[in-house]
Amino acid sequence: MSETMKNPQGQEPEQASGQAPGRVQRQEQAQDMDARRAAISRVISEGRASLGIELGSTRIKAVLIGEDHAPLAQGGFDWENRLLDGLWTYRLEDVWTGVQQSFRELAREVRELYGVPLARVRALGVSAMMHGYLVFDGDGRQLTPFRTWRNTTTEAAAARLTERFGFNIPLRWSVAHLYQAILDGESHVADIAYMTTLAGYVHWELTGRKVLGVGDASGMFPIDSAENNYDRRLLGLFDELVADRGFRWRLSGILPEALTAGQDAGRLTERGARLLDPAGALPAGIPMCPPEGDAGTGMVATNSVEKFTGNISAGTSVFAMVVLEKALSKLYPEIDMVTTPAGKPVAMVHCNNCTSDLDAWVRLFAEFAELTGAAISKPALYDALYEKALEGEPDCAGLLTYNYYSGEPITGFDQGRPLLARMPDSRFTLGNLMRALLFSTMASLKLGMDILVEKEHVRLSHLTGHGGLFKTKVVGQRLMAAALSVPIAVMESAGEGGAWGMAILAAYAAHRAEAAANTASATGAAVEPLEAYLAKKVFGGDAGTRLEPDADDARGFARFMERYVAGLAIERAAVDSM
């Protein structure tokens, strides 16, 4: 700045006509930021923020939200499943290492951003990947390593239960794992006193309560949506099926109690508080909402809990959830029937494999970049490679990929082999490769969604996407719209993921409890249902950014799918030969 532009004291002028904003405006902006930071500090100090923790397939995440439901801070921990004796599992010690580190990082960020300790919260909730098999004896001892949703060794059990119930029982459901253990003669089954999911286990340790949100419970055993509880008739059929085994338990006695969103699910005990926060800042007595599965928190995070709405969660696995107006006309092995956290029936198309193979390719390119001395961050590399896919030819020019790290029930595989195949004259370019890898994440989902749309005539105005596949703006959204022939919406907030959705469920439970305390209704019936709470208090009409299917992309994906279905024989040969 020239000397003539300074005031007599040598300072910049307060405001110069036609110039950029001066010192006063910058001071006002800083004051606004300071005021906002002070307001958030008061919210946290006074215990008016809510906390959600989600244990995902590759990351444990904790998110703190304010009274307006906006995220204030977060913490995380990366982890991976391991293959132990042919079964995918996580050690329970790693669960607590991850939960504690996530909370510790969250508390550190709160102190750094707002200058206050995280010593009180309004409410707390825990979510995790659904399904799987966690069983304990009467003394709370784990009877066998955790068998995750990724295991597909339950084919015989799932088939027999599906036939007996007249209700589709997927391979990954808890009851399928239980019955397979019975069929295999595993000795631990006689000692089972409690069977739950990962979210249910963590909640039990934190509160002492053996409960589960109905959405998560619907991935353990079929739910009767009229009662928001396990289907009593099917419980009886299961008990009859195993009556000759002489077990001391009945199935209803070893399942967690199913609760709907907003119901009281207990309070954080002193032991639970130290499990979560060994540093000792967090007190016992914090109200906890029903623990939920990642499908339920995904529905909440995308405001997809009302009929005619739906969402797609795309990360390690990919699944679409469509809230139904009425029951499906028949049983489909490709379609799971689950519920929203409020108990409404949902058709779920679940695929075991989504981004794992894609992520492996990105890691390969990162290794090459490091070899050449190129400095590129992980997010920037993902963005660059995803965006390159839009330069690829619509049908990937003959490239064919299968992302099967594990079995894929929708296409009939109990094991998987990641695979890339091409013809000698296929144009093997980076754009075509990235497009094929992205299309592969959507192919199995397409097969299941076609059943809902073409056979059951389910109405969908759009689907809302969230998860890692949608982090790069436009790319995953545009290609998914083409794959499913339906508009895809993405919300800015949905990128916060299931931990944010879980924090919202915790805030909703606190809201119901506080409203009930101020009314004559002990049940909180006067409070709006979850659907209305989300629409009015969380999203306020925000439907996200919506993209219609591109015609060229859609035609290209259709050609890719023709090769994909025909090429399943190649994947079968790989499984048989490798």
Same domain, 427 and 521: no
Measuring CA to CA, which residue among 483, 484, 497, 477 is closest to residue 546?
477
Judged by average pLDDT, the poorest of 1-10, 45-54, 541-550 is: 1-10
Cβ pair 353, 406 in contact under 8 A? yes
Domain presence at residue 41: no
| 424: DSSP letter | T
Q: Let me know whether 391 and 408 are in one domain.
A: yes
Question: Does residue 417 belong to any structural domain of this protein?
Answer: yes
Instruction: Examine the domain organization and report whether 67 and 108 are in the same domain.
Output: yes
What confidence tens digit (pLDDT) does each residue in 11-25 have? 333 444 444 556 767
DSSP structural state of residue 289: P
User: Does some domain include residue 259?
Assistant: no
Q: In terms of domains, do 459 and 332 share one?
A: yes
If asked whether residues 279 and 240 sit together in one domain, one would say no
The predicted model gives 204-216 an average pLDDT of 98
Q: Which helix (H) or strand (E) holds 128?
A: strand 123-128
Mean pLDDT to the nearest integer, 377-404:
96
Residue 110 lies in a domain: yes
In Å, how far are 73, 120, 435, 482 from 41, measured between CA atoms? 12, 12, 45, 45
Tens-place pLDDT, residues 254-284: 999 999 999 999 999 999 999 999 999 999 9
Q: How confident is the model at residue 45 (pLDDT cuts 50, 70, 90)?
A: very high
Residues 404 and 512 in one domain: no
Alpha-carbon distance values, 78 to 56, 87, 95, 98 (Å): 9, 20, 11, 8
pLDDT tens digits for range 116-174: 999 999 999 999 999 999 999 999 999 999 999 988 899 999 999 999 999 999 999 99
Q: What is the CATH number of the domain that holds 433?
A: 3.30.420.40
**Does the pLDDT at position 26 exceed 90?**
no
Whether pLDDT at 499 is above 80: yes
The whole-number average pLDDT for the span 297-305 is 92
Q: Residue 27 — very low, low, confident or very high, per pLDDT cuts 50/70/90?
A: confident
pLDDT at 232 over 70: yes
CB of 225 closer than 8 Å to CB of 343: yes
Average pLDDT over residues 223-230: 94
For the segment 361-373, the average pLDDT, to the nearest whole number, is 96
The Cα–Cα gap between 273 and 267 comes to 10
Which residues face 78 on adjacent strands?
Answer: 59
**pLDDT the model gives residue 209:** 98
Tens-digit pLDDT profile for residues 434-469: 999 999 999 999 999 999 999 999 988 889 998 889
Q: What angle do CA 377, 379, 384 make, to 5 degrees?
A: 95
The amino acid at residue 448 is: G
Is pLDDT at 573 greater than 80 in this prediction?
Answer: yes
Predicted pLDDT of residue 15: 42
Residue 31 domain flag: no
pLDDT in the model for residue 371:
95
Residues 171 and 225 placed together within one structural domain of the fold: yes
Tell me, what's the pLDDT at 261? 97
- State mean pLDDT over 77-100: 94
Contact yes or no for 276/206 (Cβ under 8 A): yes
pLDDT (tens digit, 9 = 90+) per residue, 531-562?
999 999 999 877 679 999 999 999 999 999 99
Give the pair of three-digit tokens for residue 98.
Answer: 């991850």
Average pLDDT of the chain, as a whole number: 91
Return the bridge partners of 319, or none.
313, 350
Task: Give the per-residue pLDDT at 316.
Answer: 87
Segment 33-48 shows an average pLDDT of: 93
Q: Do residue 552 and residue 420 come from a single domain?
A: yes
pLDDT at residue 496 in the model: 61
Residues 191 and 269 in one domain: no
Please tell me whether residues 329 and 458 are part of one structural domain.
yes
pLDDT at residue 520 greater than cutoff 70: no
Q: Is residue 33 part of a domain?
A: no
Query: What is the percentage of the chain residues whose pLDDT exceeds 90?
Result: 80
Which residues form the domain of 385?
A: 304-490+548-578
Beta bridge partners of 464: 311, 489
Q: Does residue 233 share a domain with residue 164?
A: yes
Please check whether residue 8 lies inside any domain of the structure. no
* pLDDT at residue 495, as a whole number: 54
Number of structural domains found in the chain:
3
pLDDT (0 to 100) of residue 440: 98
Q: How far apart are the first and last CA of the chain?
A: 70
Do residues 113 and 135 share a domain?
A: no
pTM of the model: 0.83
Looking at per-residue pLDDT, the higher value among 185 and 58 belongs to 185
Number of H helices and E strands in the chain, helices first, is: 18, 22
Distances (CA, A) of 275 to 62, 116, 202, 264, 363: 15, 22, 10, 21, 34
DSSP assigned state of 372: T
On whether residue 26 sits in a domain, the answer given is no
pLDDT score at 451: 92
DSSP 443: H
